[in-house]
A and B are shown apart, each in its own frame.
Chain A
Amino acid sequence: MGEFAIRLFVLSLLLFVFGAFSALCFNRRTKWANVLAHCSSFLGGLFGATTAALVLSTKQPIIVTAWTIVSDVVLRLKVDMLSAYFLFVISFITIAVSIYSLGYVTEYYGKKPIGLLGSGLNLFVLSMIAVVTVDHSVSFLIAWELMSLLSFFLVMVEHEKAETRKAGYVYVVMTHFGTVFIILSFLTLFFFTKKLDFSSFTQTATRFPDYVKNIIFLLSLIGFGTKAGMIPLHVWLPRAHPAAPSHVSALMSAVMIKTAIYGLLRVNYDFLKGGATWWGAVVLGIGVLSAVLGILFGVAENDIKRFLAFSSAENIGIIFMGLGASLLFRSYHEPLLGALALTALLYHVLNHAVFKGLLFMGAGSVLYATHTKNINELGGLIRRMPWTAVLFLIGGMSLAAFPPLNGFMSEWATFQSLLHLSFSLDHPIWKTVGGLLAAALGLTGAFVAGSVVKHFGTAFLALPRTSHAAKATEVPLAMRIGMVVLACGTVVFGVWPGLVLGMTNQIVESYFHQSVTGRAMLYIPFHRSVESISLGWMGMIFLALFLLLIALLRVLVGKSNNRYDETWNCGTPLVQTMEYTGTSYSHPVLMIFKRLYGIERKVEVHGEYAYYPKRIRHRLKTEAIIETKLYRPLILGTVWLSQRLRAIQSGNLQSYLAYMIITLVVLLLWIR
């Protein structure tokens, strides 16, 4: 079995490599490049997902030695349980995205080199797989850097737009800011183990003194947190994701930010095996901040993709809440609860990947059909793009965690972990905080629902607001199939949690020696009570009642006689400009949380009498408060410091030579 899994895994990797090179070779022949690149990434994803499933079901890690450079430096890929789970997530999303891309890149025919784009996509997926499977810190950092750079190139595909260039710049700066901290955390590990490979970290890191563990935890949290997009290090997310082509943003948002979660789990669970109580508290705090602020910023957005990017920050917040709770329970020696929280976070990693991938593809479809992402220019797409509308609605419902879709399951598990902070821990602080955190999660959920209504309602319902929207047509079949795959995922992972729990349980068991399993039901036997949830059952009851209601009404009263007429509009004919826009939809929220948005509102009334204005101009300016209050001072400070440092750059060759000599002398004295 192991042999077979290894072969499958190698085949999957080779397929990505093949896809990358063949697409490059056929760069001139766009259609060939498209088909070759995306078919091989599809197959690669398929084999990758199978490998992961095999590894997780047989519980036997596989090791592939790819390249022995010298006897000591070996590029080795090791798929253990944690890697296999993330490999599954990456591969599953890649399958759907590859099908979708077959249709989506036709948009770029004649405008962009398709071969390069396809090759970049394959290499990007390959680098992500490398990130989650290598077992050596140097190769990890190389893979990490490759992943960052490749995604940067993919973000820059539409580089002729100034906005995209700026987004790419912010992304590349932020991602390297994060990488610095990751390097530092690995260096700290190296400093104390004198080894660079993960297995020696795993063996020795538990024996580190506490302060070292704390340092490693903080460094990894900042480093990986930047990539994950936790607030306040999220600034690149809402820029880079909208700028990238939609199939790339689907991959970036659904999968790439999850590699950071992998890194955090690897460092904090695998190497350090958990730590002090305050770790959990810090992660929980960041989680709550990211979740609430992420969605509050998201509500105000009128650009679908920007909203989805903010919602990614929010979902990372939910994942962090699970992680924080899990670390906390671990430090309090509550293995069952820790296992539940870890399950919740792993489950949410997959779920978020599935529905966020679906939603980004849906947004991409809207963009493909109408060439705009601004919902205020859309409307009425449900008639012209029925498939996209239904699929986007499913994704949106899953995002808002509505039963019976998958988003609900992991959110429920997170709720339970947070509530049991207070039900099971005896510390008065946790007793209070648990409920507050659960309420914050509820607040987040309600805001997500509101913003999904806003985006779906404005873009897909009622009358088209511009001619782009009026002329839209349904997207090609390949794009629809890609979305259908993930839409099925949202339903299946919701009503049959056993599929996911079977996978997560291997990881959870290895850290907590407790299992959280279930088939059609997520079931947790607590000390005092038994908590369980079954969306399959709920769905069946729902369906039965639904059919019963329709049948009863039909039998008892007969068919409803429907007549069609104008919308009620106080007796005047309805025109598009009277519809509620996205801006007006989120206005109440903006007014309630005025301080957070730094709103500047201007109403200009033109005309002789104020009561009979000829024209009213209403302007609402919101301010990205984190950027102005936190980043601007930092940037200004950095610029100021750099300008001071320029004093030593006189441009004089002699003085540069003098610097070198001084450095050399100092070094010699120091090393002596």
Chain B
Amino acid sequence: MFLQIAIVILLAPFIQGVIKKTKARMQNRIGPSIWQPYYDVIKFMKKDAVLSHHSSWLSIVTPYIVFVSIVTAGLFIPTYTVNNDWNFIGDVILVVYLFGVARFFTALTALDAGGSFGGMGSSREMALSAIAEPALLLALFAVCLSSGTMKLSDLVVSLLHNGWDWFTPSYGLAFFAMLIVVIAETGRIPVDNPDTHLELTMVHEGMLLEYSGRYLGLMMWAAQIKQLLLLSLFIHLFFPWGIAASGDASQIILSFLLYVAKLVALSMLLAFIETMYAKIRLFKVPKLLGSSMILSLMAILLRVFE
């Protein structure tokens, strides 16, 4: 359990670093070091914080709640092993709702200081997440349908066992549906721009505007962990090969290295997509997520009538 938590927490800034570096290289920039997110986190932890006069105790508690709910959700997602120690506690629905808790508190506290930017980010986030959540559930369902469980570790084992066929159309459709959802949930272009600080285009960053110091550090770190978890989810749903199902030490090390390699590859893909596309208008996002839902639905129909 502790190893799983530690790896999830410590690996998350690295993935963020890889994405940023790839993006910079693709834009012909040198870019900051791959380790920059670590330096940022350490710096933020040490800094003093400035809070608004108008804010309440919620502003102080929220970063901790958000961080811990996301880490707790990480217990139920397979990372470098199949990891079924905590299987009895919950399944992917619990994961979705734990992410929901984090989002709820983030959005709530965005209103705490009374500024319009927080409100704007919060209102947009809640509206978009309402469309993203069914899209996520449908995409998950498209994959779960054949194995008949929502427990991720059982699901991965059964996927490993049966093996998705790369050339099955429903597989490809579910893949693209899930990719769209992962992009939306991690708050990346074309849905949201994680690097922007232009007030009118912010969604997730808008909600963090009033945070500083340790609180900002925790919120950013939590966002990175959530990104890592979603990427792991994506990887294990579509490329589970090589994941260690037993407790053999050498196998686990191999599985871990493979996991990191897959993560790096996927984050490069995300960076690539991000460089290729521009952010789309806010009210176009529901259409994008809608198309993800249609893809999932088609995947499900193909599965059912196969």
Contacts and interface: CB of A to CB of B under 8 A. Distances in A.
A438 interface: yes
B130 A589 contact: yes
A550 interface: yes
B228 interface: no
Interface stretch (A201-209, A322-330, A528-536, A601-609): A528-536
Interface in A411-454: 412, 415-416, 419, 422-424, 428, 431-432, 434-436, 438-440, 442-443, 445-447, 449-450, 452-454
B24 interface: no
Interface string A527-569: 0110111100110011001100110010011001111111111
Contacts of B209: 568
Contact of A461 (B48, B111, B304): B111
B52 A439 contact: no
Given A412-B93, A439-B137, A585-B119, A529 B154 contact: yes
A491 to B, nearest CB: 15
B151 A557 contact: no
A343 interface: no
Interface stretch (A246-254, A400-408, A626-634, A649-657): A400-408
Contacts of A521: 88
B116 A580 contact: yes
A166 interface: no
B145 interface: yes
Contacts of A568: 113, 115, 117, 209-210
Interface of A: prevailing SS: helix
A307 to B, nearest CB: 14
B210 A588 contact: no
A557 B46 contact: yes
Contacts of A531: 91, 149-151
Contacts of A428: 304-305
A592 interface: yes
A380 B64 CA distance: 22
A566 B209 CA distance: 13
Given A403-B98, A534-B88, A567-B114, A436 B138 contact: yes
B253 interface: no
Contacts, number: 261
A533 B304 CA distance: 28
Given A397-B104, A442-B96, A585 B123 contact: yes
Contacts of A570: 199
A431 B149 contact: no
A416 to B, nearest CB: 8
A453 B133 contact: no
B134 A439 contact: yes
Interface stretch (B13-21, B31-39, B69-77, B258-266): B69-77
Contact of B138 (A435, A526, A545): A435
- Quick one: which of A447, A529, A532 has the most chain B CB within 10 A? A529
A383 interface: yes
A158 to B, nearest CB: 31
A457 B90 contact: no
A447 B130 contact: yes
A463 B54 contact: yes
A382 B59 CA distance: 12
B235 interface: no
A25 interface: no
Contact of B97 (A408, A456, A526, A565): A408
A431 B134 CA distance: 17
Among A550, A569, A586, the most chain B Cβ lie within 10 Å of the Cβ of A569
A591 interface: yes
Most buried by A among B75, B104, B215: B104
A550 B64 contact: yes
22 contacts: A400-B104, A401-B97, A423-B144, A432-B297, A432-B300, A434-B141, A439-B141, A445-B97, A449-B104, A450-B107, A462-B112, A463-B114, A538-B89, A545-B71, A546-B65, A557-B45, A557-B214, A562-B50, A564-B50, A564-B52, A568-B209, A574-B114
Sorted nearest first, the 9 A-B pairs with minimum C-beta distance are A580-B119, A462-B114, A450-B126, A457-B111, A588-B127, A435-B141, A446-B130, A439-B134, A529-B149
